[in-house]
């Protein structure tokens, strides 16, 4: 069993991570992360702002964005660029991919397996320091495919 001082593994405790970097555990940051985790699904900054304000009225938009960026930096949250200004934040940590519908913009989780080892090797050869590999499957969702076929 790990000793109490064994904190070498990547922690998921926001307060601890912040204090390690000399940063502050503000209620805004805690609530934003809790909200992302509660959802268990990717969400836009705007959606997060909506629910965070229920609990913490007055939370400003810049604060939301700053907190999300910080959480991404800390590795607690993934940023997903679903194209055309559709930026999503996701606290789901298991590796997974996303489908993005080109017609309606809908984004869904996809639990597939992608071998990224070769990619990371290739990028390392170019001196690139890989932090994450993002896979976006774009096309038409079931609803839009049906709508296009009917037209």
Three-class secondary structure assignment of 94-112 = CCCEEEEECCCCCEEEECC
**Pairwise CA distance, residues 145 & 22, whole Å:** 50
Contact 110, 120 (CB under 8 A): no
Residues that bind DNA (CB under 7 A): 15, 18-19, 22-29, 44-46, 56, 58-63, 65-67, 69, 84-85, 87
Compute the least distance from the CB of residue 81 to its own copies, in Å. Answer: 4
Contact partner, 139, from its own copies, DNA, none, Cβ < 5-8 Å per class: its own copies
Phi-psi domain of 83 (left: phi exceeds 0; alpha: psi -120 through 50; beta: other)? left
**Pairwise CA distance, residues 55 & 60, whole Å:** 13
Residues that bind its own copies (CB under 8 A): 79, 81-85, 87, 97, 99, 101-102, 108, 110-115, 118-120, 122-123, 126-142, 145
Compute the least distance from the CB of residue 18 to DNA, in Å. Answer: 6
Contact partner, 54, from DNA, its own copies, none, Cβ < 5-8 Å per class: none
């Amino acid at each position: 069993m790990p000793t109490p001082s064994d904190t070498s593994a990547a922690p998921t405790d926001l307060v601890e991570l912040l204090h390690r970097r000399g940063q502050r555990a503000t209620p805004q940051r805690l609530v934003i992360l809790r909200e992302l985790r509660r959802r268990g699904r990717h969400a836009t900054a705007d959606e997060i702002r909506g629910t965070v304000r229920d609990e913490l009225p007055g939370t400003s938009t810049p604060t939301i964005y700053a907190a999300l960026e910080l959480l991404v930096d800390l590795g607690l949250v993934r940023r997903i660029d679903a194209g055309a200004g559709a930026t999503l934040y996701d606290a789901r940590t298991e590796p997974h991919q996303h489908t993005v519908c080109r017609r309606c913009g809908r984004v869904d989780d996809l639990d597939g397996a992608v071998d990224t080892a070769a990619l990371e090797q290739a990028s390392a050869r170019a001196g690139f320091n890989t932090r994450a590999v993002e896979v976006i499957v774009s096309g038409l969702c079931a609803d839009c495919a049906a709508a296009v076929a009917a037209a």
